[in-house]
């Protein structure tokens, strides 16, 4: 009898949230940076540094969680017969917006995944980020209502769906072989890492449940605003509850604003950086976590966005845009402000023609 995965979606969303919250806390216990058991933006940034794409010596490590997550998604998608090649409707836009989302995440010091996990650990700076994130998503939904669309992706060959999984396998091989051209931090967050077996196992499991549940940090808030549908939002709540309980049990919970690990207290830019992340993610059709999942399933637009995120990570550190616990550089503030303006302009210009007429008539 064929299993109806759609009917299983609500418990799968909760299971995915619990898995992310619990496993992230255990990854910290096993050696990952505090309040950074899992962060798509930070870990992609670290991998970019390991490959020599940026020279920030404290954030360079070939983290196996990301390629393992990709392989977990591929396994789940293959089981569910959901590996389908789809061409990118607007790859250049996806690339640019992906890069801007990464810059916003590195100014905030975390993607929406880490923002949620920081909340679970008691970091109230992440609450400021959540307000900005929700505000950015609201702005994005207003653009959706007015007809914003990247266009319809066309079905494509299955062959390109194997590009990202092949790269993931290659990264895992490099992580174990450790050739001389791979950079690894001797100090700072890049020097902290969970045992490889734990990292790979957690990554694969999270990839499986993420693919089956469609967990998306942007989708939960977007769907609640547009359709009053709390389906995906329950997954975010599950991360906070399960992650908070696990962190408390492991002695990782500490509520407050000051002296939180790998965080800063520049609240205006915590807020605005996550406005950029929320807005840009709506334009892309999902958060960095969801983009990685969709790319692993064969979505060309998501693959372009992920490539943009790696490029954004390299630019953010080479050009001095990324924040640190001491604060946000002026260059980072400038690019966040410009990024919000660029995303708004793209969202307004990429409206479907009939929606443009309706807006002008109104």
Distance CA 160, CA 142 (A): 33
Let me know how long the chain is: 362
pLDDT of residue 147: 95
Q: Is the pLDDT of residue 285 over 60?
A: yes
| pTM (2 d.p.) | 0.92
pLDDT in tens, 75-116: 999 998 888 888 888 999 999 999 999 999 999 999 999 999
Closest CA to 244 of 234, 229, 255, 257: 255
Distance CA 338, CA 103 (A): 11
Strand partners, 256: 123
- To the nearest whole number, what is the mean pLDDT of the chain? 92
pLDDT of residue 179: 94
pLDDT of residue 153: 78
Q: Over range 19-41, report the average pLDDT.
A: 95
Q: Is the pLDDT of residue 326 over 90?
A: yes
Q: Is the pLDDT of residue 291 over 90?
A: yes
DSSP assigned state of 189: G
Distance CA 231, CA 175 (A): 37
Query: Are residues 122 and 254 in contact, defined by beta-carbon separation less than 8 angstroms?
Result: yes
Spatial neighbors of 313 by CB under 8 A, at least 6 apart, are 41, 44, 45, 48, 49, 53, 54, 102, 106
Distance CA 301, CA 174 (A): 27
């Amino acid at each position: 009898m064929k299993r109806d995965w759609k009917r299983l979606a609500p418990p799968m969303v909760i299971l995915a949230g619990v898995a992310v919250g619990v496993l992230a806390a255990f990854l910290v216990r096993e050696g990952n940076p505090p309040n950074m058991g899992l962060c798509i933006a930070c870990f992609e940034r670290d991998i970019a540094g390991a490959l020599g794409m940026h020279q920030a010596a404290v954030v360079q490590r070939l983290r196996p969680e990301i390629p393992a997550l990709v392989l977990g998604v591929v396994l789940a998608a293959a089981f569910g017969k959901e590996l389908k090649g789809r061409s990118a409707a607007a790859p250049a836009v996806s690339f640019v917006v992906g890069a801007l989302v990464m810059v916003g995440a590195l100014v905030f010091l975390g993607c929406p995944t880490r923002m949620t996990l920081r909340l679970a650990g008691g970091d109230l700076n992440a609450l400021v980020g959540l307000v900005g994130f929700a505000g950015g998503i609201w702005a994005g939904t207003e653009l959706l209502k007015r007809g914003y669309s990247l266009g319809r992706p066309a079905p494509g060959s299955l062959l390109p769906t194997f590009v990202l999984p092949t790269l993931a396998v290659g990264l895992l091989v490099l992580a174990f072989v450790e050739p001389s051209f791979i950079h690894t931090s001797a100090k700072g967050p890049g020097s902290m890492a969970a045992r490889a077996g734990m990292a790979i196992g957690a990554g694969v499991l999270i990839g499986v449940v993420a693919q089956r549940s469609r967990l998306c940090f942007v989708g939960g808030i977007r769907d609640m605003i547009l359709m009053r549908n709390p389906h995906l939002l329950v997954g975010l709540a599950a991360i906070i509850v399960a992650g908070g309980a696990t962190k408390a049990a492991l002695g990782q919970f500490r509520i407050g604003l000051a002296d939180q690990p790998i965080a800063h207290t520049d609240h205006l830019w915590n807020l605005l950086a996550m406005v950029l992340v929320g807005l840009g993610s709506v334009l892309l059709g999902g958060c960095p976590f969801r983009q990685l999942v969709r790319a692993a399933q064969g979505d060309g637009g998501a693959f372009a966005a992920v490539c943009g995120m790696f490029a954004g990570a390299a630019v953010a550190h080479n050009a001095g845009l990324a924040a640190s616990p001491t604060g946000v550089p002026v260059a980072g503030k400038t690019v966040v402000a410009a990024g919000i303006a660029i995303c708004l302009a793209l969202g307004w210009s990429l409206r479907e023609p009939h929606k443009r007429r309706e807006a002008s008539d109104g």
